[in-house]
Amino acid sequence: MNIWRAFSSIHCLTYLFPYLGVVMTPQVWIYLFLLLSATAYGVYNFRDLTLPYRLLIAQVFLVLLSEITSQVIRHFILSSFPVYYVLIPALLLFNSLIYRTLFKSSIVLKEIVTIVAIILLVIHWYLSLCTSEVWTESFPSISLMLLSLFTISVSLLVFIQMLYSPIMIPLQKQAIFWWNSGNLFFYSVTFFIFGYFRYIKGLGQNMPEWSYTQIWLASMVMYSCHFTSLYFNRKKSNLKNGNDQ
């Protein structure tokens, strides 16, 4: 696949969205460009990446598609909430699969990650399908908080594993450090902000504008870290003296 073909797709979107009547802010365009850049870079270097980062490429591409879809859906039904009912369990699935590969020396941690992920998936679909939540009117904030809490907890376990199993590669050049740091930062911000979502909505108010700006900044930080992790994972793929996943 030619990397320039991937980049040309976002150029096509600049014509598609106005045709559909979809108007996006510069922040959204910057975010989409970052997601597209990370996806294109990952696909171009796919053979040089290890399994966790191949999964990461698929995850970033899924987020890119979901963000584009949410922009279109918001234009027609004035809400992008339905997209997140599918995206959140997908992110949970990808995060759990990636973390399982990182806990290569601990079968117990692998099983714990799997069991907790399955439980959270069941909770998500129960809240979505078996309660009074309406997809177009209610954001799955509880599911997002559970995803955030899961990712924060497991990312801390990864850092503990790194402390107990140091390698010769400098920390700032370890792909796992960048990927895990991005996750920890983003999901910590997300957990804090959406912890107040239902309370604020219950008062009949909207989320403050600064909260969406914080989420955008946190997303930019996380996917910039993910992009960096792809770079370092590719760079060390041919080295024989490192064991950084």
Average pLDDT estimate for 189-217: 77
DSSP 105: T
Confidence of residue 177 (pLDDT cuts 50, 70, 90): very high
**pLDDT higher than 60, residue 13:** no
242 pLDDT higher than 50: no
Which of 207 and 153 is assigned the larger pLDDT?
Answer: 153
Q: Which residues contact 17 (CB under 8 A, 6 or more apart)?
A: 23, 24, 71, 72
Q: 4-8, 109-113, 125-129, 209-213: which has the highest mean pLDDT?
A: 109-113
Distance in angstroms (rounded) separating the CA atoms of residues 64 and 223: 11
pLDDT at residue 195 greater than cutoff 50 = yes
Band of residue 185 on the pLDDT scale cut at 50, 70, 90: very high
Which pLDDT score, from 0 to 100, does residue 166 have? 85
- Tell me: the pLDDT tens digits for 24-33? 788 988 999 9
> What is the predicted pLDDT for the residue at 1?
46
Which two three-digit tokens encode residue 34? 């970052």
More confidently predicted of 107 and 240: 107
Write down the pLDDT at residue 139. 76
pLDDT at 241: 40
**Please, what's the b/e burial string for 176-193 (b: 16 or more CB within 10 A of its CB; e: otherwise)?**
bbbbbbbbbbbbbbbbeb
Residue 240: pLDDT over 70: no
**For all residues of the chain together, what is the average pLDDT?**
83
Give me the residue label for tokens 């078996």: 130
Query: What does the pLDDT average to over 89-108?
Result: 91
Instruction: Provide φ and ψ at 205, rounded to 5°.
Output: -115, 165
Tens-place pLDDT, residues 57-85: 999 999 999 998 888 887 676 667 788 89
Q: Is residue 141 predicted with pLDDT exceeding 70? A: yes
